[in-house]
Structure 1
């Protein structure tokens, strides 16, 4: 029974790593494309700290920034600061809220194919490649656990 649990754990580890890599790859593609997106002026309408559930540790602090902008005469609202805004520590979230205070003017980058899709910090930042490397490390660990689990099962 213990071997089956180890194989299940390893297989789940690999599957979750692959799903995470798929998501991060789509973010990477979008971040790279965004460096070509046009920009328009915008204005921050709200900027505050929020929290999300982070498991047993409780809540994690996130920056919640909303902005308005106009494309082709259509007023739009966005809330994406960058492509890797994740639940993080209080210091990072506070700094983001301070950089984008309510009422400030900002540059909004938008997808010309879908203008409602926008971001304040376009292009690739360091956190996305770091997240991909971490996900790859988890995938390798999962594969090694799976191989070890299957070897143990076959040896028995």
Structure 2
């Protein structure tokens, strides 16, 4: 009985910590991005010129990652001037822990919206004018949100199963 309880605590605890930890980490990244969006709502807008607009391709190179598919990232640079000082921006919007990437079609939508030479509206932080974005929102990361939810659910299920096994052992 004691051995079964210890095994349940070790393995159940491990799964709970791993999946729950991943879920909470990703959730904190999303909350951080949402906080940045909230803070940016007061940022002033400014005219910016797109200076670079291409699609970056990320293909897994390590042997163990060969089953993963290629992802595509819009790479957009723009220049703007605040109080006579020139800046270069590279951020499209706010992301939860990384860059904006996805399918080729997803990246192409950004490239079409921001072609080289186009004058667009950018938003910058008054306190730190070198911080800027083209869009004041969290860029869609459906896969990241799905992984967050799945991790949190698996962590919770693991916790419930661990508690259930321990209770069963104590009752019997």
Specify the TM-score bucket, using the shorter chain as the normaliser: 0.7 to 0.9
Q: What residue number does 1:118 align with?
A: 132
- What TM-score results when the alignment is normalised by the length of structure 2? 0.76
Tell me the SS of whatever aligns to 1:80.
coil
Q: How many residues align?
A: 155
CA contact (8 A) 1:24 1:131 kept: no
Matched, 1:66 2:72: no
What CA distance in whole angstroms lies between the structure 1 residues aligned with 2:59 and 2:16? 25
- What TM-score results when the alignment is normalised by the length of structure 1? 0.83
Q: Answer 1 or 2: which has greater strand percent.
A: 1
CA contact (8 A) 1:53 1:59 kept: yes
Matched, 1:78 2:89: yes
Structure 2: runs of 5+ lacking an equivalent: 1-5
Q: What residue number does 1:148 align with?
A: 161
Aligned residue runs from structure 1 range 1-156, under 5 A: 3=8, 4-52=10-58, 55=65, 56-84=67-95, 86-123=100-137, 127=140, 135-136=148-149, 138-153=151-166, 155-156=168-169
Flag the 1:120–1:149 CA change in 2: closer, same or farther, 3 A.
same
Flag the 1:51–1:150 CA change in 2: closer, same or farther, 3 A.
farther
RMSD of Structure 2 on Structure 1 (CA): 2.7
Structure 1: runs of 5+ lacking an equivalent: none
Query: Greater CA radius of gyration, 1 or 2?
Result: 2
Tell me the SS of whatever aligns to 2:94.
coil
